[in-house]
Amino acid sequence: MKKIFLSAVIVSMALAVNAQTIPDRKMDKTFHHQDMRKGHRMDLQKLNLTDAQKAQFKAQREDFKNKMAALKKEDNITVKEWRTKMQALRQENKTKTESIFTPEQKDQLKKMQAERQQKRKEMMQEKSEKMKKALNLTDAQSKQLKDQREATQKQMKAIKENDQMTPAQKKEAIQQLMKSSHEKRKSIFTEEQKQKMKDMRQHKPQDKKVKPQT
């Protein structure tokens, strides 16, 4: 289980490395949030990767991208065969990507990932407490929101790890999940609380970009 977890982390790290080494490429936003990418880039800086390692990451990513592109062009295979080949390519990519890190870097990655998860958990708790106070939520409502959030996260994880689904199917499933989650959250609040949230959003200060004067 730890090996699977580490592999997932390492693949995410690889994406961040390539974002640094190829700054002009389009960011792949599918299933990745900007805050996560920022955290991964910071982790990579702490690992002090060598130029050789960065070059290996870039080469491996290009190799994986080319193989996936070739697979998408195979029109004479069944969906089952396509999924099998896709799983094999992903596993190969994980193995090769993982081999680039030294044992010390892998241990450091796991430690930093655990620290980031703990920090994220604390921030989520703080946000929940602020919401509870601002909306005067009951303990029952707070528990419902927490349970609903955890259930959504569990379902999201299951979708992302489902190798039987194509990227397009995953995207559609996640969109439906988020829509359903939003409706369930709304049902927990009273009409008065909903109105208060609406007012809070309207009065929330917006960050305005100031255009440089020429």
pLDDT of residue 186: 92
User: CA-to-CA distance for 58 and 116, rounded, in angstroms?
Assistant: 25
State phi, psi for 101 to the nearest 5 degrees: -80, 150
Q: What is the pTM of this model?
A: 0.53
The first and second tokens of residue 182, run together, are 């939003």
Helix (H) or strand (E) holding 100: none
Residue among 36, 31, 35 nearest 175 (CA): 31
List, as one string, the DSSP characters of 10-54. HHHHHHHHHHHH-TTSPP--TT--HHHHHHHHHHHHHHT--HHHH
pLDDT tens string, the chain, 214 residues long: the values are: 445 445 555 555 554 544 443 333 333 444 344 555 555 666 667 888 899 999 999 999 999 999 999 998 988 888 888 888 988 999 999 999 999 999 999 999 899 989 998 999 899 889 889 989 999 999 999 999 999 999 999 999 999 888 788 788 889 999 999 999 999 999 999 999 999 988 988 877 655 444 444 4
Give CA 206 to chain center in angstroms.
25
> How many CB atoms are located within 10 Å of the residue 149 CB?
15
User: CA-to-CA distance for 79 and 20, rounded, in angstroms?
Assistant: 35
What are the residue boundaries of the structural domains of the chain, listed by start?
A: 2-109, 136-201
Give CA 173 to chain center in angstroms.
15
